[in-house]
Amino acid sequence: MPAPSAATASESPTAHVADLVIFGGTGDLSMRKLLPALYHADRDGRLAPQTRIIAMSRSGLDDSDFRGKVEAEVRPGLHAGDAEGWERFLGRLHHVSVDVGDIQQAGWGALTRLLAGREDIDRIFYLASPPMTFGPFCRAVHEAGLVTPRSRVVLEKPLGRDLAGAQQINDEVGAIFDEHQIFRIDHYLGKETVQNLLVLRFANAFLEPIWNSLWIDHVQITVAESVGTPGRRGYYDHAGALRDMVQNHLLQLLCLVAMEPPARNDREAIRDEKVKVLQALRPISGGEADRFTVRGQYVAGQVDGKDVPGYLDEPDKTAPTEASRRVETFTAIRAEVKNWRWAGVPFYLRTGKRLPHRRSEIVIQFKDVPHSIYPGGSPNRLVLRLQPSEGITLHLMAKEPGAGEVLLRPVPLSLSFADTFRTRVPEAYERLLMDVLAGNPTLFMRRDEVEAAWRWIDPIIATWESGDALPEPYAAGTTGPAAAHELLGRSGRAWHEEDLP
């Protein structure tokens, strides 16, 4: 198989020619998400011919072992393509064994030789590794002389465990790379419906006039997962749902719902507006954290008709500790955006593991008509479904056909992306990797965004950690602890649970 040779960016009209170095290249994220996304992009002709993918790990594999591993573990899960395309993809793959802590090690020499002569093309370091490796990795590539003016670095979440930790990582990475070279991934921003939310809001005239507290009663953002956390105790005990999901994914969704229209569709304009939303979030701490936040942890139950263990009994290399008993696998929060547009509108956030279904959605619940001339009836609701089956549904009131009395019925007006566009919806990572390769940071988090999110999360964590209370148990396969329902119930509202697949 011929190895692709060096080339300049101008040779490729499709995407910049790049060396994409994945640190943690044989890990779960790389094998499950990054390599499939890169293969699909390649199959669709969106990788420049001379682009190479260089996996780094401590596994001791050579190029041919690594290609064999990808053939065995990645290929079976891919959308079919032709054999020639697969061979071309394999030809892009390389593997270098490196210990990031040891800059004298031979692996660094091997990486340096592999990258030599390609200084004028884009060089991307993708850190698919735990956050404590970000600083040391950046220092190591710098000391090895591998950072070029056209280098970029991609950081996977979580970025720290609190504001101070995030600032430290940002400082360490920022000492080697300029902010415009740093791409902080939140893969929710690559999801099709998430991008469609901006188009829906800012490319249609009818929504914007009613997108405010005069018309909207409240907003719900739910990211429910049916999976548990088997084998993830080492990470999850120290993360929990608030750090793992809310600090990043759910707050990003909230920003896109709540932000003001940006002046331009450009990287800084959109991110500027998102930061303003985060800065306008009403702080929650002390007694308010008890009133406005809920923590839960799943115990044994049934999901999809199968018995599943509770969090503490999930199979794992390590036994549960005190941290395991205290960690939340579910959280619900009543947030508020303190500005003119949203004053008084609650934003309810909810996420959890081992819920009945995998379902992520944003629900915009409109207010009731000011004066109703019909009995029955319920207020309009706009549901943006992120997964599964991406789509948008507007629930309207209609008259039931019939000659008798006028009976109202809520009817869904639905747009299913799959049915309407009849095209494969790309995975979030595919979109984001293509943006990294094109050097477009719009869908990535800026330093001030990440830090503003932590600034809001930190006081909640501090309150939770200062008390003795444990998360409320909920049986796997149910919709979470009772307190999550009370969070809405005490103001006469309820979570949107309809339309489950």
Active site residues: 249
Q: What letter would DSSP give residue 31?
A: I
Minimum gap (Å) between residue 247 Cβ and ligand BG6: 10
Please report, as ranges, the residues that interact with ligand BG6 according to CB under 6 A. Answer: 187, 225, 244, 360
Identity of the residue numbered 26: T
> CB 77 → ligand BG6: shortest distance, Å?
15
Question: Dihedral, CA atoms, 38, 44, 67, 24, nearest 10 degrees?
Answer: 0
Name the minimum Å distance from CB 393 to ligand BG6.
19
Euclidean distance between CA atoms 383 and 386, whole angstroms: 10
CA-to-CA distance for 242 and 463, rounded, in angstroms? 13
The nearest distance, CB 306 to ligand BG6, in angstroms, is 18
Choice between 42 and 192, CB closer to ligand BG6: 192
Amino acid at 114: L
What is the widest separation between alpha-carbon atoms in the chain?
Answer: 86
Nearer to ligand BG6, 50 or 248 (CB): 248
- Give the residue with the Cβ less far from ligand BG6, 22 or 432: 432
Given a contact cutoff of 8 angstroms between Cβ atoms, the answer to whether 312 and 320 are in contact is yes
* CB closer to ligand BG6 out of 32 and 58: 32
Residues in the chain: 501
Residue number with CB closer to ligand BG6 (193 or 365) = 193
Q: Which residue has the tokens 């119930």?
A: 489
Q: Nearest distance from residue 245's CB to ligand BG6, in Å?
A: 6
CB of residue 235 to ligand BG6, shortest distance in Å: 8
Give buried/exposed letters for 279-312 (b at 16+ CB in 10 A, else e). ebbeebeeeebeebbbbbbbbbbebeeeebbbbb
- CA 112, 113, 115, 116 torsion-angle sign: positive
Nearer to ligand BG6, 360 or 365 (CB): 360
311 secondary structure, DSSP code: G
453: helix, coil or strand?
helix
Q: How far is the CB of 427 from ligand BG6 (least distance, A)?
A: 9
The tokens of 362 are what? 């944003």
- Give the DSSP letter string of 32-81: IIIHHHHHHHHHTT-S-TT-EEEEEESS---HHHHHHHHHHHTGGGSPP-
C-beta of 59 vs 226, nearer to ligand BG6: 226
Nearest-angstrom CA–CA distance, 30 and 38: 10
DSSP one-letter string for 181-242? GEEE--GGGGSHHHHHHHHHHHS-TTTGGGSSTTTEEEEEEEEE-----TT-HHHHTTTHHI
Q: Which residue is nearest to ligand BG6 (CB)?
A: 244
d(CA 368, CA 279): 30
Tell how far CA 239 is from the center of its chain: 15
Nearer to ligand BG6 by Cβ, of 190 and 481: the residue is 190
Query: Residue 255 Cβ, how far from ligand BG6 at the closest point, in Å?
Result: 17
